[in-house]
Structure 1
């Protein structure tokens, strides 16, 4: 029989540990966010539907986006044992420079629409964390202003080739003059993808006040206050701002761009040159033969061609074919530091985060971006320690198995759901 006694008041008092209440509501909600999904839920509560869905959504049935996220979840790790991981080194070299973490911030358009601090928050947070920041052609902060808030950090510029070539050439010259060290030549956007959430929401730049948007704004007055009391929302690099996203992209982008355009821009650019939006092994090999510095395996976050290849699934084969000749960067679907570790193990040299960064921005401005970086950094370090690797360079295909729901020929792979691509 268990001997029982009356509770001892002094022992009860020892158990009563009350956490000091945080008066700052922004810090309180960000401190409570332990994952990127937590930040996403905060962002959804605080941001009007049209702006949130622009970030959260993808093209048509959103199949590419869902598959990209799922592919990271379908991973099995294989830890080593008895290795000293009292300290892990997360630094890596990419495109001629160093990064404190093996990820950087991807280019995102219309960023001040999500939260008014926009690219200023992203660039300053990236600089403080020692990771690269990429500014989009469709950014809402100028090339020069991003440089001002991240003067010592690594700034990269993502280029769309416009119908009016002189606009693109001018952006290249401005980015070079401002000291950006890398140009991302984007190849997956001849026209805009069919982003149906945007169409259904009547999403436009700038946002339109309609009965629907006004009703949606009622529980989110802070967002509208920020929007209406800060600088007008417009593109920093383009003069045309009115219309839906599809209309703006289709009026600006040129579906006739080809390898001659790539060669022309490359001649103009003095720094490192990466090609973003590569989705086949053949194209990766062709670009490697042309001597580009890096390729970015990306399906544009699932926002262009739905059912496009999943970059993480494509990665091992590309790494085998060209990994020694060109640096490989991967994006799309990354929601956890473990996704980044898996990518490095299967041959990526670096990764980019887009939605994860924007969820943090919408959840809390600059502090929210800091929280995104902190969450992913903690997850990377923890995953590496549990794998018992002490540096990024130690990661290799033996640490990861990709569990396949479907084989590459499209047939259900029920007999062998585990496919080790190492």
Structure 2
């Protein structure tokens, strides 16, 4: 099985996630950029994810004698150096040929772990063979139309268990495909719809184009038979459409209970925005929930993830781990999420920016940037430890400041 070990550099790079975003925009064709950076329909929810963080300011106390040097924590039973996981993002091989394998290696170098998507451009086994730790697995519970309701899901669960994955994240907010109009307008699909203009756009980025043609890292390698891959993307996708149902509106809580019964490790439910849903998942044995609206890529006009977080953390926090994804671009965003009850966060677009701009080294550096920003913010706030962060450190933006005396 071919496995690479991408050599990571210690050279300095961009200063911020936004700097990496600007470089990533120049590095990939328009159709790939639409997939990485855009959301569903009017992108109202995607924008709301970012705006939610701006509604909070951080309290600062001086002369506390504290420096935030230790950000280590434990998520899903794994010790990590910072409360950040790499979120599952399918088809990462389109951003950079090293894809999910390069991202997982980068996560390890940054002291954390990756959640590997079912729709990855490297197989579960390739990623496990090319990494040193037991990463996490994200499940889309797709169905094989030629067999029973759970056969394909069960087979994938057994594969990742055998490969050494340490936990499973079940994505439940995709009963049907989100209406990603920006992707459709730019021909992004499985496979992409190529026109002379789009081919030229890719050719104007020769480094990306050469790597894409050489490595051909397409999505859904975990579902496509190697023989079908050899026949090309179009042949493989025809087979997929005949054999698999990828979006399953019929899935229900009984299916989730079945997954809990058949998975021995940590189990998380991803895509929860409602406290009652979080409560039900924990009651069925979920070890944690990921408060998420799929980065604004599914239901447009859904509530911002950060706005949904406090009610869910109040309901199940302490009994289950609570993670958040959506809209994170700064270390201060992560601090605010932890203050509102999150045990950790998942980042998707930020590490894809790093990957597209500079390969695995860029993805690693993005995590290091966020880690550094967190340390700096907490030290300036006067907070020494992650456990000390709570809602008392937040002030609503624009709230009047009381004037005492004259």
Query: Offset at 1:207?
Result: 3.4
Counting only pairs closer than 5 Å after superposition, residues 393-412 of structure 1 correspond to structure 2 as 393-403=387-397
Instruction: Determine the structure 1 residue equivalent to 2:180.
Output: 195
Q: Highest Rg: 1 or 2?
A: 1
Paired residue total: 379
CA contact (8 A) 2:257 2:284 kept: no
SS at match of 2:215: coil
- C-alpha contact (below 8 Å) 1:217/1:224 kept by paired residues: yes
Q: CA offsets per residue over residues 170-206 of structure 1, 9 Å max, x none?
A: 1111111111111111110001000011110111233
Structure 1 residues 81 and 326: alpha-carbon distance in aligned structure 2, compared to 1, 3 A threshold: same
Corresponding residue for 2:97? 116
| Per-residue Cα deviation, 1:214-271 (whole angstroms, up to 9, x for no partner) | 2212431111011111245342211285469xx8999422110111111111111110
Alignment partner, residue 69 of structure 1: 50
- Pick closer, same or farther for the CA change 1:234–1:398 going to 2, 3 Å: closer
Q: Closer, same or farther in 2 for the Cα pair 1:83/1:365, shift >3 Å? A: same
Q: Within the alignment, does 1:82 sit opposite 2:79 as a pair? A: no
Tell me if 1:147 matches 2:145.
no
- 2:256 is matched with which residue: 259, 262, 266? 262
Aligned counterpart, 1:367: 361
8 Å contact 2:105–2:131 — kept in the other structure? yes
> What is residue 141 of structure 2 aligned with on the other side?
161
Question: Which residue is 1:13 aligned to?
Answer: none
Partner residue in 2 for 1:215: 200
The reply on whether 1:237 has 2:222 as its aligned counterpart is yes
Q: How does 1:306-317 map to 2 (within 5 A)?
A: 306-317=300-311
- How many angstroms apart in 1 are the aligned matches of 2:260 and 2:47? 34
Please state how far the C-alpha of 1:417 moved relative to its aligned partner: 8.9
TM-score normalised by the chain length of structure 1: 0.85
Contact 1:311 1:332 in 2 (8 A): yes
Counterpart of 2:344 in structure 1 is 350
Deviation string, structure 1 residues 156-179 (Cα, Å, up to 9, x no partner): 001011122322111111111111
Q: Which residue of 1 aligns with 2:160?
A: 175
The residue that corresponds to 1:56 in the other structure is 37
Aligned in 2, Cα 1:250/1:309: closer, same or farther, shift over 3 Å?
Answer: farther
Unpaired stretches in structure 2, ≥5 consecutive residues: 1-7, 145-149, 402-406
Cα distance in 2 for residues equivalent to 1:325 and 1:117: 37
Return the alpha-carbon distance in structure 1 between the equivalents of residues 81 and 371 of structure 2. Answer: 10
Mapped to 2, the partners of 1:115 and 1:368 lie a distance apart of 11
Q: 1:188 to 1:383 in 2, by over 3 A?
A: same
Which residue is 2:297 aligned to? 303
Contact persistence 2:67–2:383 (CA under 8 A): no
**Residue 274 (structure 1) aligns with:** 268
Residue of structure 1 equivalent to 2:5: none
Q: Are 2:84 and 1:103 aligned?
A: yes
Pick aligned residue for 2:320 from 321, 326, 348: 326
**3-state DSSP of counterpart to 1:204:** coil
1:417–1:285 distance in 2 versus 1, CA, 3 Å: farther
Q: Separation in 2 of the partners of 1:183 and 1:298?
A: 16
- Contact residue 276 and residue 298 of structure 1 kept, 8 A: yes
Equivalent position SS for 1:132: coil
Match of 1:288 among 262, 267, 282: 282
Query: Normalising by the residue count of structure 2, what TM-score does the alignment of the two structures yield?
Result: 0.88
SS at match of 2:384: coil
Are 2:331 and 1:337 aligned? yes
Shift of 1:356: 0.4
Q: Is the 8 A contact 1:191 1:249 kept in 2?
A: no
1:87: how far off?
4.8
Post-superposition Cα deviations, 1:285-340, rounded to whole Å, max 9, x if no partner, equal: 22222231001100000000001111111111222222121110100111111111
Cα distance between partner residues in 2 of 1:149 and 1:58: 31
8 Å contact kept, 2:68–2:375: no
Query: Partner of 2:179: helix, strand, or coil?
Result: coil
Distance of 1:205 and 1:35 partners within structure 2: 32
- Report the CA distance between 1:80 and its aligned residue: 2.2
What SS class does the counterpart of residue 128 from structure 2 fall into?
helix
**Which residue of the other structure, out of 205, 209, 214, is the alignment partner of 1:224?**
209
SS at match of 2:280: helix
- Conserved? CA contact 2:68–2:378, under 8 Å: no
Distance 1:396 1:70 in 2: 20
- How many Å separate the matches in 2 of 1:250 and 1:59? 24
